[in-house]
Amino acid sequence: MTWIGYKPFATFLIALLHPFYVSVIDMNHNSKDATIEISVRTFTADLENRLEKEYNVKLDLADPKQKAKAEQYINLYVQKRLALTANGSKGKMEYIGFEIQKESTWSYFEIKNVSQLKQLDVFCEILFGIDASQINILHAKTNGQTKSYELPAPKNKTSFTF
């Protein structure tokens, strides 16, 4: 039997292994560099799905030939769906890049000029629209203190106080 015969079975197995919709957003305050380093982890297939629905563009994020286009759309998407306000000031997220690790895509951003972090307000709608059970898991870290919060759809805002 060829691989084609196994494809429906493989798709079924993937669906069983991926029945939930989740992203993980890590926000690390680097007091030495006065930055907030942000990483957004999503399942690659889910991110490709959202980019296609949001921007009507079909991307294979693992294809090196589509890297520049992928960079553009990932940046647009995350900038629209994630916003941070540090100590009362809305942060300007600068896009750093993305990488694929197994079935996940890691997108990296940075907010500059944040010397200390006392309050972090987060707006997050990453992957909203795929499934009503979407959950965004947020981790905020500063001065060795880590706080986490689970943000289930449709809830899209939370705050961390340090």
Quote the pTM value. Answer: 0.85
How high does pLDDT run on average in the chain? 90
The CA angle 146-147-152, to the nearest 5 degrees, is 145
Which has the closest alpha carbon to 37: 161, 142, 144?
Answer: 142
Average pLDDT over residues 94-98: 98
User: How high is the pLDDT of residue 14?
Assistant: 46
Q: Rounded to the nearest 5 degrees, what angle is found at the Cα of 127, between the Cα atoms of 80 and 102?
A: 115
**Of 106, 87, 103, 101, which is closest to residue 37 (Cα–Cα)?**
106
Q: Are 15 and 45 in contact (CB under 8 A)?
A: no
Q: What is the pLDDT of residue 134?
A: 87
pLDDT value at position 19? 55
Asked if residues 146 and 139 have their Cβ atoms less than 8 Å apart, the reply is: yes
Q: Would the pLDDT of 102 be above 80? A: yes
Residue 9 scores a pLDDT above 80: no
Q: Which helix (H) or strand (E) holds 161?
A: strand 157-161
